[in-house]
Amino acid sequence: MFSAIVKRPAIWALSTLVFAALLLFSFHPNAPTVRFLPKATWQKDDLQLGLSRLLQHLYPERVSNSTTPAPWNKWVTHNQRSLSGLFACLETGVCGENQTSVVLLGSAHFIGPLEGHVGGEDIWGLSTIEALDAMGYTYIFSPHWDGTEHPANVHVTMEFYHMFPDLVKIIIAEAEEIELCWYDRRCILSPENPYGIPAWKMFSWGFWAGPANPLGAKWSLNPEDFHRDHSWIPPNTYLGYSVEHGCKSVPYIPHAERPNPSTIYIYAKWGSYFFNHPWGMDYYRSVAEEFDGRAHLLMGTHGELPDDFPVDVVENLGQMKQKQFYEMLSGASLVIGVGAPTTSPSMYDALCLGVPVINPILQWDESDPTNRDLWYAQHGTLKDLDPPYVYNVFKGDKEGFMRAVKDALAHPIESYILPHMTMGAVEGRLGKIIEGDWKAEAQKLLEERQKTGDGPLFTV
């Protein structure tokens, strides 16, 4: 118990009442003089002065010109500043829109972008953070893992929730952590644990299709609307994300000003993607021969390549930093998918930067080849788009592949962001999730489960 307290002194200090904290600091030998005035003479200025001093003690600024904090300090800095702002807002009554509505972010993928991580989950996390910022919500990072030797699991989220349970609108956490809380009598709300977290406030952060929450699909958040990929996939709650932050970090280059010969980028982060991919190795050589002097093949790949890969006609830049990748992509004329990674944000980046993509169709119904609902594509949520933006090409169809390359180079596109992937659209969906009457939804679900016996019961 003592070691746990030592590890999280800030969290326990924050839970101290304002009066108790002021009293404590007034007796500290190094503390400034704090005036306690009779109630009749307590003025607004005095309140603000006392509050200012309190916040200086609770949240001392650690970052200065003389310090060089590591990136993993950023989420701690954010939490202290957010809590300081929330504390001041609650005491003075001067609050920004949505400031008193708190969202707890319990996945490590929310702090990942602050540390420079750029995986798909981290990009989704960054987009969610930007939407929360734009709408003025107070959000607190409570990561299930923060890079330290001992994972925190759900405990940090529990401690923050106990501070201001009525202010917490929702908690977004990894499915595994929510599962842990659900079956931990010290975590979940129940008649014996009135301080527990209500099941209906916890939303699972899941990158893939399928329900990932004990309450089912409505409490399972997704970055993609996978129901659009295949109609038989039960729809989760689609939160989604936007790539505007990344793609707009570099200037849009008009096609007349892009490199000549044109850059064709083969999107494959790992060499292993080429060992079982939809195109023959001769496809790339054929492109190089047909567009000799008019197009240049590039890739940014790390790892072993197949022996027959045409390294003489495809230049490999190796793995790139995000900034270098965006700069390269902004000057490209076409991106070729190789079957993996699936649902990568980079395809959306390409469209945003005015670069069409070739989307491999890996499986389909040969008796009904035009039925897109039965297509299994590298990027399933892009298969509904058509040229000049997306060229859906069946695996092994060299003629269709070559035609797609030719048409894409002949018909350049402007910057394109799917309507449901603008930041405005993300904010709209996230706002509805935060402000939804999930307690009422949970009550309906509980009554249904009590009747049918289908699914675990819970306390509303």
Whether the per-residue pLDDT at 37 is higher than 60: the answer is no
**What residues are paired with 298 via a beta bridge?**
265, 315
Gyration radius of the chain's alpha carbons: 26
Cα 170 from Cα 165, distance rounded (Å): 10
At residue 67 the predicted structure's pLDDT band, cuts being 50, 70 and 90, is low
Cα dist from 375 to 210, 311, 335, 385, 401, whole Å: 18, 31, 20, 13, 17
Residues 282 and 368 in one domain: yes
Residues 102 and 202 in one domain: yes
Residue 27 lies in a domain: yes
Cα 78 from Cα 332, distance rounded (Å): 37
pTM for the structure as a whole: 0.86
Residues 432 and 409 in one domain: no
* Surface-to-core class of residue 406, CB atoms within 10 Å of its CB (0-12 exposed, 13-18 middle, 19+ buried): middle
Residue 85 lies in a domain: no
At residue 59 the predicted structure's pLDDT band, cuts being 50, 70 and 90, is low
* Surface-to-core class of residue 73, CB atoms within 10 Å of its CB (0-12 exposed, 13-18 middle, 19+ buried): middle
Residue 78 lies in a domain: no
Kindly state the average pLDDT of the residues 99-112: 95
Position with higher pLDDT, 151 vs 68: 68
State the pLDDT at residue 145: 74
Residues 291 and 438 in one domain: no
Q: What is the mean pLDDT of the chain?
A: 88
Residues 300 and 407 in one domain: yes
Last residue of a domain, one of 62, 81, 99: 62
Residue whose token pair is 């930007």: 130
* Strand, helix or coil for residue 84: helix
Output the six-digit token pair for 147.
């890079």
Residue 72 lies in a domain: no
Residue 400 lies in a domain: yes
Residue 81 lies in a domain: no
Residues 233 and 97 in one domain: yes
Domain range enclosing 3: 1-62
**What residues are paired with 359 via a beta bridge?**
392
State the pLDDT at residue 48: 57
Cα 115 from Cα 108, distance rounded (Å): 11
CA 404 to centroid of chain Cα atoms:
32
Residue 77 lies in a domain: no
Output the six-digit token pair for 238.
């689609």
Q: Are 125 and 110 in contact (CB under 8 A)?
A: yes
What CATH number is associated with residue 411? 3.40.50.2000
Q: Are 377 and 395 in contact (CB under 8 A)?
A: no
Whether the per-residue pLDDT at 46 is higher than 80: the answer is no
Residues 405 and 257 in one domain: yes
Q: Are 202 and 181 in contact (CB under 8 A)?
A: yes
Cα dist from 264 to 80, 307, 343, whole Å: 46, 22, 20
Residues 220 and 336 in one domain: no
Kindly state the average pLDDT of the residues 407-412: 98
The count of structural domains within the chain is: 3
What CATH number is associated with residue 155? 3.40.50
Residues 256 and 356 in one domain: yes
Residue 341 lies in a domain: yes
With CA atoms as reference, report the closest residue to 125 among 138, 107, 142: 107
State the pLDDT at residue 336: 99
State the pLDDT at residue 149: 56
Kindly state the average pLDDT of the residues 417-438: 98
Q: Edge-to-edge, what's the strand order for the sheet holding 202-205? A: 138-141, 102-105, 168-174, 202-205, 220-222, 237-238
State the pLDDT at residue 29: 42
